[in-house]
A and B are shown apart, each in its own frame.
Chain A
């Protein structure tokens, strides 16, 4: 047996950022994958220690640039927890709706890039990006910015929804719901797609726990754990939604679960609009002097599109003394070697696409 060692990256269209992989091959079969990360390491955890609380929150969005609003919300929620600030009732609903819109946009991005990664399905990539843009346009209407929203404020949001926003969102949601069925019809009848996804990259439920995987990837392996249900926050406490669980744990399950989650997110948005109360939703303006700290140590968990992210903060007067961030995909990257072993080299990118990496969040 002769082992061939090849290098992939750091610049490669399927690495979703800057990632280098050293792959040991026996013929065409993967013996070992060694990810070299850190090309996008900016030392965010150090940078935030040198800034004040609300200076940081714009910076947080650059962590996961496919779902910036969700990371921003996680950070602001951590600061709110430390300061003991209650989020206004209407703002809670606004945040929930925006988070779910962000989740839909992120999952659409996932489906598009996955189809691009496995080879010849560029049509779906274009479809998904066009549909994602509709969702981004909604977020732009609500926050004023297309990509980096900076819409969260302590105790609320920067601005309330504009007039007629509800109708726009509900129209768009009807459209996206129709489109997800179209994707399914298009992809799941496609023999190439199915061949490359089914029974590829199987992650058993025991291994998923052992490696600390979370989010849709964990649920695709048959474990019913969703932070929105297990540690409910905002409107998720009141909205009756169901978590999506599949048991196979292969690439196909990881794709399928995200399509199912888009539909569930649409339900949450519809429900949230029905229950949303009137009133004030505007949070505190960005002051240089924040309210005093009440708790010295806080932990906040949130279900981001890519999995459970957590922030642990040791609070200081002006800014965080230490902010530790758990990124869900950092752990998936560590498990890539285990998942990809024994597969063909060409399947490596199908597996990587199905794990939904964003390198900026892996590297921090």
Chain B
């Protein structure tokens, strides 16, 4: 399996549509990785009949963290996009804003970003008393 297939954000929807037409109709997961100086969004695709897997990466600069929605292509993208938006603070364009899926409180840093220090929020609160 290749780890180096990058697509441009503008081409993402087209690339996924082409892959779907080729037989990669099963979207396994969407997630992201924060590399501090940039982020990468990952789309895992599966061709069930041929038993092949494909990983498509999208490089996102820190200054423009947004992605187009792919919900029209894959229904399973719905919750994954919401999860990613919530955990990484990546805006998904082309869908209406919905309530948070996993967390209760809005307004804190997206937790899976590297800038979010684990336990810091709690320590701050303790210092304040």
Question: Which A residues form the contact surface with B (CB < 8 A)?
Answer: 37-38, 41, 43, 45-47, 49-50, 209-212, 223, 225, 230-231, 297, 299, 308, 310, 312, 314, 321-322, 324, 326, 330-331, 333-335, 338, 363-364
Count how many pairs of residues, one from A and one from B, have CB atoms less than 8 Å apart in the complex: 74
Bound complex: CA A308 to CA B102 (Å): 21
User: Once the chains are docked, how many angstroms separate the CA of A275 from the CA of B28?
Assistant: 34
Task: Take A211-B75, A310-B29 as given contacts and tell me if A38 and B102 are in contact as well, using a CB distance cutoff of 8 Å.
Answer: yes
**Are A212's CB and B101's CB within 8 A?**
no
A312→B40 CA distance, assembly (Å): 13
Q: Given that A38-B101, A50-B118, A299-B1 are known contacts, is A331 also in contact with B48, CB under 8 Å in the complex? A: no
* A223-B101 CB under 8 A given contacts A209-B26, A330-B79: no
Instruction: Please determine whether A41 and B112 come into contact, CB atoms closer than 8 angstroms.
Output: no
List 3 tightest A-B contacts by C-beta distance, closest first: A212-B76, A38-B102, A324-B31
B99 nearest in chain A by CB position: A36
Chain A contacts of B25 at CB under 8 A?
Answer: 209-210
B76 A314 Cβ-Cβ under 8 A: no
Q: Which residues of A contact B78 (CB under 8 A)?
A: 334
Q: Which residues of B contact A47 (CB under 8 A)?
A: 118
- The answer, yes or no, to whether B51 is at the interface (CB within 8 Å) is yes
| Interface mask (B87-129 → A, CB under 8 Å = 1, otherwise 0) | 1000000000000111110000001100010100000000000
A322–B33 touching, CB < 8 Å = yes
Chain A residue at minimum C-beta to C-beta distance from B75: A210
Tell me if A334 and B79 are in contact (CB < 8 A).
yes
Q: Which of B56-93 contact A (CB under 8 A)?
A: 74-76, 78-79, 87
Interface residues contributed by chain B, number (CB under 8 Å): 31
| B33 and A210 within 8 A (CB) | no
From B1, B27, B55, B100, A212 is in contact (CB under 8 Å) with: B27
The 25 listed contacts between A and B (C-beta, < 8 Å) are: A38-B101, A38-B103, A45-B87, A45-B112, A46-B111, A46-B116, A46-B118, A47-B118, A210-B75, A211-B75, A212-B27, A212-B76, A225-B48, A230-B51, A231-B51, A299-B53, A299-B55, A312-B31, A321-B33, A322-B33, A324-B42, A330-B79, A333-B79, A334-B76, A334-B78
**A residues in contact with B1, CB < 8 Å:** 299
Please give, as numbers and ranges, the residues of chain B lying within 8 Å of A334 by CB-CB distance.
76, 78-79
Task: Kindly list chain A residues whose C-beta atoms are within 8 Å of the C-beta of B76.
Answer: 210-212, 331, 334
A333 to B112, CA, bound (A): 22
Q: Does B34 contact A (CB under 8 A)?
A: yes
- A325 smallest CB distance to B (angstroms): 9
Cβ-defined contact, A209 with B28, below 8 A: no
Taking CB as reference atom, which chain A residue is nearest B51?
A230
Of the candidates A45, A212, A299, which one forms a contact with B26 in the assembled complex, judged by CB atoms under 8 Å apart? A212
| B55→A210 contact, CB < 8 A | no
CA distance A90 to B75 in the complex (A): 42
Q: In the assembled complex, how far is the CB of residue B24 from the closest CB belonging to chain A, in whole angstroms?
A: 11
The complex places the Cα of A136 from the Cα of B44 at a distance, in Å, of 35
Q: A210 — which chain B residues lie within 8 A by C-beta?
A: 25, 74-76
Contact status A223-B48, CB under 8 Å: yes
From known contacts A225-B48, A331-B79, infer whether A212 and B74 are also in contact, taking CB-CB under 8 Å.
Answer: yes
Contact call B75/A37, Cβ cutoff below 8 A: no
Residues of B within 8 A of A211 (CB): 75-76
Contact assessment for A310 and B48 in the assembled complex, using a CB-CB cutoff below 8 Å: no
A326 near B29 (CB under 8 angstroms)? yes
CB-based nearest A residue for B26: A209
Q: How far is the CA of A324 from the CA of B3 in the complex (A)?
A: 15
Contact residues in A for B79 (Cβ distance below 8 Å): 330-331, 333-334
Known pairs A37-B102, A47-B118; list 8 more (Cβ under 8 Å). A38-B102, A41-B103, A212-B28, A225-B48, A299-B1, A326-B29, A331-B76, A334-B78
| Contact in complex: B118, A363 (CB < 8 Å) | no
Shortest Cβ distance from B73 into A: residue: A210
CB distance from B128 to the nearest CB of A (A): 22
CA distance A50 to B111 in the complex (A): 13
Partner of A324, one of B29, B101, B111: B29
